[in-house]
Structure formats: structure tokens, C-alpha cells
Structure 1
Amino acid sequence: MNATEKIRKKQLRFALKFGVPYILFIILMYLVVYLGKDWIVKQKIFSLPLHYFLVAVLIYPITWIIFGYYVRKANQMEDEIKKIGG
């Protein structure tokens, strides 16, 4: 296995390490909101119902933070490939 293949496998592991937990987090959050709707609807955060806060407000900063970190690391891996001439 050459260096480029090793880096590509590293990229795949890295992508799965972020992608799978993120998707599971999103699914779990929607599932919690769905299953606990009677309790969640009554809870308020900053005058918003908890389910609005979770689904509409909280998810976007989390997504952008993860996205920003992922892109920086992925770009570093791409630079590694360029250095070895792959």
C-alpha cells in the first residue's frame, strides 16, 4: 500500500469518525423530541419551547463547529497528499 492509499484510508476513517456520530446525534435528538413531546413542549429555554430550541437553534452551531473542524483537518490531509506527489 503506497502513501496515498494510506492517507485516503485515514481520510475515510476520519470522515466516518465524524459522520456516523453526527447522524446518530441528529436522529437521537429528533427521536427524543418525538417520544417526549408531552414533556418537551412544556419546557422553555429563552422563551422558546425546548423542542424548537433543540431542533432549530442548538443544532446549527453544533453543525458549523463540527463542519469547520472537519474541513480544516481534511484540508491538512489533502496537503499531505500534495506533498508526497499523489
Structure 2
Amino acid sequence: MDVNTLRKKQLTFALAFGIPYFVSIIGLYLLVYLAKDWIAGQTLGGMPLHYVLVGLVIYPVTWIIFIIYTKAANAMEDTMQTRHPRE
């Protein structure tokens, strides 16, 4: 695997994670903005629903995606380095 193939593979992988992630983030914020009166009146576990959505959904999902992507990208680079070690 050459560097250009690796870059294309990592870009495809990044877009496969990034596009759905950003669409869901924008959708969630639009939902909170458009339905703010209803969402502000809802509580879950004694906390306002919008705090729960942002604090207990968005941040953990962001970290999970970050960890998965980083491990996979590093594995792709390790595969390339084992096939084509530096001379």
C-alpha cells in the first residue's frame, strides 16, 4: 500500500464517520433550537433534557468515535509501514 492509497483509505474512513456525526450533531442542535419550549420543560433524572442530550449523549459519542477512528487510522499506517519499511 503506497501513501496515496493510504490517504484515500483514511479519507474515506474519516468521511464515513464524520459526515453522519456532523449531520446528527446539527440535527440535534436544530431539534433543541426549534423545540426549545418543549425540551426546556422536560427533565430526565432531575436534569433538563437539553443538558442530558449534550452532556450525556454528544460528548461520550464524540470520544467513542475519536477513539475508534484513531485506532483504525493508526492500524492502517502500521500496516503500510510493515509492508514498506523505511530504507
Determine the C-alpha separation between the residues in 2 that align with 1:69 and 1:78.
Answer: 14
Give aligned pairs, total: 85
Pair 1:47-2:46 in alignment:
yes
Is 1:3–1:84's contact at 8 Å kept on the other side of the alignment? no
Determine the C-alpha separation between the residues in 2 that align with 1:71 and 1:38.
Answer: 38
Percent identity, aligned pairs only?
Answer: 52
TM-score, normalising length: structure 2: 0.87
Is 1:41–1:49's contact at 8 Å kept on the other side of the alignment? yes
Hey, what does 1:11 align to over in structure 2? 10
Runs of 4+ with >6 A deviation:
none
1:55 is displaced (CA, Å) by: 1.8
Is 1:40–1:51's contact at 8 Å kept on the other side of the alignment? yes
1:67 is displaced (CA, Å) by: 0.8
TM-score, normalising length: structure 1: 0.88
